[in-house]
Amino acid sequence: MEHIEEAGVHSGDSSCVLPPQSIPESELSTIRHYTVQLARALKVIGLMNVQYAIKDGQVFVLEVNPRASRTAPYVSKATGVRLPKIAVGLMLGKKLRELTDLTGGLYEGVLPVTLVCVKSPVFPFNKFPGVDPALGPEMRSTGEVMGVGESFGEAFGKAQLSAGVPLPAEGAIFFSVNDHHKPEAVGLARRLAALGFELTATRGTAAAFKAAGLKVKTIFKVNEGRPNAVDILKDGKLKLVIYTTTGAHSFSDERAIRRSAVMWRVPCITTLSGAKAAVQAIESRLTDPLRVWSLHEIHGAG
């Protein structure tokens, strides 16, 4: 599974996609090779969970857990392979060939090639007034859902809908991103503007958008005056917030905006990778119908 959020966000709080969408085959091959080596060295019989990170084409092992992960049911539903049942059979002394007729491993060739599955976390933020929804290494989700689509965008959008944070089809979108993210944010803003969305942003982000030729409305930060981003959120004029961390000097401002988004039930995305996924989902929702399949239809009644 490929995580959508960057390393540094707890795996339980990151959406992830199966099959991977942007990892080169050379790196996938390395990951499979490392996994086999680790399993044999640790003498694992049953399920094992490994977390990897990729930096500049190099694969790093973050952690190895000789146990099932919370995504085992998700992978089982996505692939049609009952991984926990097979794992328990192996732990009780049976052989893999007695439990499944799959060849070439349980990963390759299992997922229907035309479908993409996305797991998204469910957060309890709206039940805890005042909490900051920014994601980090501490796990905060309390559940997860799965979306299935013929494209990544469709699957991610359906997962977000199931998680209770439906993405908008129209209206104003608020951006405030750090300098490192501005070039990529410009590309996302251009795609959203092409779909008819109104762009709003804090002063620095708005300047980057205007320099790129985009039409954008500048909004005050909380400590700059009124009406500011929190006021506009309360008025219901913003339909999506994309706010990446900008540093300790604006920490209180960031928290106020993100908290207000949660309070007024406006989707709030705090990573640029999550924003990219959201834009793909919005594009898909505006061009494709909302399709629904049962697991029986995906994998066959047998």
Shared domain check, 159 and 172? no
Shared domain check, 240 and 162? no
The side-by-side arrangement of strands in the sheet containing 217-218 is: 217-218, 198-201, 172-176, 238-243, 268-269
The Cα–Cα gap between 71 and 76 comes to 9
> With b meaning 16 or more CB within 10 Å and e meaning fewer, what string describes 253-265?
bbbbbbbbbbbbe
The Cα–Cα gap between 120 and 111 comes to 18
Shared domain check, 69 and 215? no
Give the pLDDT confidence score for residue 250 in this predicted structure.
Answer: 52
The Cα–Cα gap between 128 and 120 comes to 20
Give the pLDDT confidence score for residue 291 in this predicted structure.
Answer: 85
Shared domain check, 173 and 143? no
Give the pLDDT confidence score for residue 223 in this predicted structure.
Answer: 75
Give the pLDDT confidence score for residue 106 in this predicted structure.
Answer: 46
Shared domain check, 224 and 141? no
User: 188: domain CATH number?
Assistant: 3.40.50.1380
Averages of pLDDT over each 10 residues, the chain, 302 residues = 85 88 92 96 94 94 91 87 89 86 48 78 77 77 90 92 89 90 94 95 92 92 79 86 66 69 81 90 87 84 47
Domain span holding position 210: 168-266
Domain-embedded: residue 143: yes
Shared domain check, 11 and 152? yes
Split into its structural domains, the chain has a count of: 2
Give the pLDDT confidence score for residue 47 in this predicted structure.
Answer: 94
